[in-house]
Amino acid sequence: MPRTPSRGRPPWSDVLTPAEWRVVEAVRHGMTNTAIAGRQGVSVDAVKFHVSNALAKLGFDSRGELRLWSGVRSDSALKGKERDMTQTLQLGPIGQIGRAVSDVAAAERWFRDVLGLPHLFTFGDLAFFDCGGVRLLLDQSSPQSGGRPSPSILYFQVADILAAHAALSARGADFVSAPHMIHRHADGTEEWMAFFNDNEGRPLAIMAQAKG
């Protein structure tokens, strides 16, 4: 007799489901459950559920371990890519500067209409502008301390974010998140970042693009 087709979602060959990956990438980006829920249009309980499942699957006990996990999703352009550790690490030009704002819509209008900066795109509570080839990120979701915006972040471009992360870690750089994908453009180009602290505990980041 022919088998009756099984119902429900098809099996996923990766270590995490697509929904779990979306939440894990946001956790590695430093976002809270509430911020993730707002960004992804799901409930906070759904975010907690995915975080709990990811921790169980990966054998982790804490969210901190999840932030430092260097896993790469199976459909990423970086999956299976060999790291070229023979090349001397060289940080490229500053590709982006991040600045926390309290109202991204108001900030977008001001930087566009008052300063006249070319507006690239807005994604949720993030707005991007071009500053002569350097991207300016206005981020409403950045945590604030004592009611004041968090420090600006310099994002250094690197050719290979996995190799750069390994090399900087070996030199003693204090990474607070493993390399993670923050966005995939319509043409398949992936935006990757990893955050670390300078000698005074202020945030820095490396960034790279990956294409399939």
Q: What is the CATH number of domain 18-67?
A: 1.10.10.10
pLDDT at residue 4 greater than cutoff 60: no
Residues in CB range of 169: below 8 A, 6 or more apart: 175
In the chain, the amino acid numbered 174 is D
Measured between alpha carbons, how far is residue 59 from residues 14, 18, 69, 81, 158 in Å? 15, 18, 11, 24, 31
What's the CATH fold of domain 94-210? 2,3-Dihydroxybiphenyl 1,2-Dioxygenase; domain 1 (3.10.180)
Q: What is the pLDDT of residues 65-115, one digit of tens each?
A: 999 999 999 999 998 776 666 667 878 889 999 998 889 999 999 999 999
Domain boundaries, the chain: 18-67, 94-210
Global pTM reads 0.79
Residues in CB range of 100: below 8 A, 6 or more apart: 139, 140, 142, 143, 144, 149, 150, 152
Tally Cβ neighbours within 10 Å of residue 160. 22
57 close to 90: Cβ distance less than 8 angstroms: no
Q: What is the pLDDT of residues 182-192, one digit of tens each?
A: 989 889 999 99
Strands (E), 65-164: 94-100, 119-123, 126-131, 134-139, 144-145, 148-149, 153-157
